[in-house]
Amino acid sequence: MKSIRSKLVVTLSIAITGLVLSILLATDIAVDSWVDNEFNRGLHSKAGMLMTLVHEDEEGLAFNFSSEFMPEFDGQLEPEYFQMWTEEGVFTRSQSLNLFALKNLKFEELKLGETKIMSTQLPDGRDGRVIYTRFEPQLDSHSHRNFYDGVSRPHHSTLTLAYAASSEEVDFILWLIDVIFIVTTVTVIVFIRLFVRKSVDSSLAPLNKLNRDISRLSIADKSAVITIKEPVKELQPIVDSLNAFIQENRQLYFREKRLTSDIAHELKTPIAELINMAEVAILFPNEKEFEADFKPEVLKISQRLKSIVSNLLLLHKYSDEALPKQDACDLNQVILRILEKYDLERIKFEFQDDIPAIVSNLFALESIITNLVNNAKQYSPDKSVVTVCTLLNKEDKLQFTVTNELKVPLTEDDLSQLFDPLWQKDSARTSNDNFGLGLSIAKALSKAIDAELQVSLSGQNITFSLIIS
């Protein structure tokens, strides 16, 4: 099973660690290069200074060097070494070379102007670096002016300089930098891991609390809702959707609970009547007057039970189920065929001639129209007129309406319950012919054929409208 927490921790840890490591690695390389370059620059500077001490005049080469100002070359302070060669051999070398058995630096063949830096082992056994360079000495212009007569420069000697110094301090600094880099890297990885995990846990805390609140929620508690003390922008839409979902399911729960109670109430009365009649028949087996009424009453009660059960099964069958729409028909003709069964003195049919033919489910249409007309006749005054109408509405959709005067006034709150199964305005349920299922069946069949069944009040008149797509 995938874990959001684990994925976030791993992803953020890898991303942040990679970024930090890249920065640290780049910094380490830059610092190492800078320290190394600074050391090499120091070698170049010291070699350049030694080259400036060599000059050539009419008498030959001269080296103006004093160890008083550079004690490192006589071994008094961390020995450093230099040696110069001419074409004939060794020209000069530092006094520090005389302190050890190895009194000469290694010679390196170079071209004039060429410079080379190499790692080496110093005469004293330390690790170091040596810089080689081949150069021409300076000319003494006071004693040898014809060197600058502008015609030509006479050939004179070239020298090779080798200057060596210990690199152990630099190597130690580079090693220390690398150790610091490794320690910092490990520390950063551990810190990032802990920090990311802490941050993710903190960020997911509202989600975990939401999960706990949902697990404790009871749909039977009318006042129970999900709330977040400190609203989170990402979670608030989820909380709102969950509350809407809970509210809808709570309504369904109480609706089913009421429906179960209503079904029990509807079945209880005829069953009690059958029991009472059976008990009377047993107590008075020879009562002829009772026997004459017994069978018709049993049949009537049984038919009522059958009607209730059949309508409940019909409602259950077509709830939330789509019906095939394969029947082409003329809605006006369908309505006329149904109205032939009724007393036309109480029904007024107003129809629009040019309405188009439709393709729908004929069984569903006939059932919806029948239930709506039956409902209008049943709940309107005896001598009132029920108006049935067909038309094209403003959206060019076919609309079928049934309007009747109300026998018992309804409120807007009643309208929201009209389509609930077994709901009746008369709480005493005195009617033996109506069970509050007709409108529920009409509503279920409307959804099954993608039609919309609406209801509206206008004074003492109620209108049911079926809008067919």
Q: What is the pLDDT of residue 430?
A: 45
Residue of 304, 400, 390, 382 whose CA lies nearest to 343: 382
Query: Which residue in 117, 116, 110, 118 sits closest to 136, CA to CA?
Result: 110
Closest by CA to 463, choosing from 417, 399, 413, is 399
Model pLDDT for residues 333-355, shown as the tens digit of each residue: 989 888 888 877 788 888 888 88
The mean pLDDT value of the chain amounts to: 82
Residue 423 has pLDDT above 70, yes or no: no
Calculate the alpha carbon distances from 163 to 62, 169, 348, 456 in Å.
18, 17, 122, 107
Q: What does the pLDDT read at residue 424? A: 67
Q: Which tens digits make up the pLDDT trace of 15-71?
A: 888 888 888 889 889 998 999 999 999 999 999 999 999 888 777 888 888 777 788
Tell me how far CA of residue 380 lies from CA of 253, 401, 429, 456, in angstroms: 32, 16, 17, 15
Distance of CA 274 to the CA centre of its chain: 63
Statement: residue 417 has pLDDT above 80: no
pLDDT at 42: 92
C-alpha dist (Å) from residue 435 to 162, 193, 283, 443: 117, 67, 32, 15
User: Strand, coil or helix: what is 268?
Assistant: helix
- Per-residue pLDDT at 139: 79
Q: Looking at 149-265, which runs of residues are DSSP E strands?
A: 159-166
Pair of tokens at residue 391: 């038309």
String of DSSP letters for 68-123: TT-GGGTTSSS--EEEEE-SSSEEEE-GGGGGSS--SPPP----TT-EEEEEEE-T
Question: Phi and psi (nearest 5°) for 105?
Answer: -85, 155
Please list, in sequence order, all residues whose beta carbon lies within 8 angstroms of the beta carbon of residue 3, skipping any fewer than 6 positions away: none
Any idea which fold 327-468 has? Heat Shock Protein 90 (3.30.565)
pLDDT tens digit sequence for 267-325: 777 788 788 878 877 877 777 666 667 778 778 778 777 776 776 666 666 676 788 88
Reported confidence tier of residue 76, pLDDT bands at 50, 70, 90: low
Rounded Cα gap, residues 442 and 373, in angstroms: 11
Look at the block and give the residue holding tokens 């018992």: 408
Most confident of 5-14, 127-136, 246-255, 344-353: 127-136
In the CATH scheme, what architecture does the domain 4-174 have?
2-Layer Sandwich (3.30)
Percent of the chain with pLDDT over 90: 14
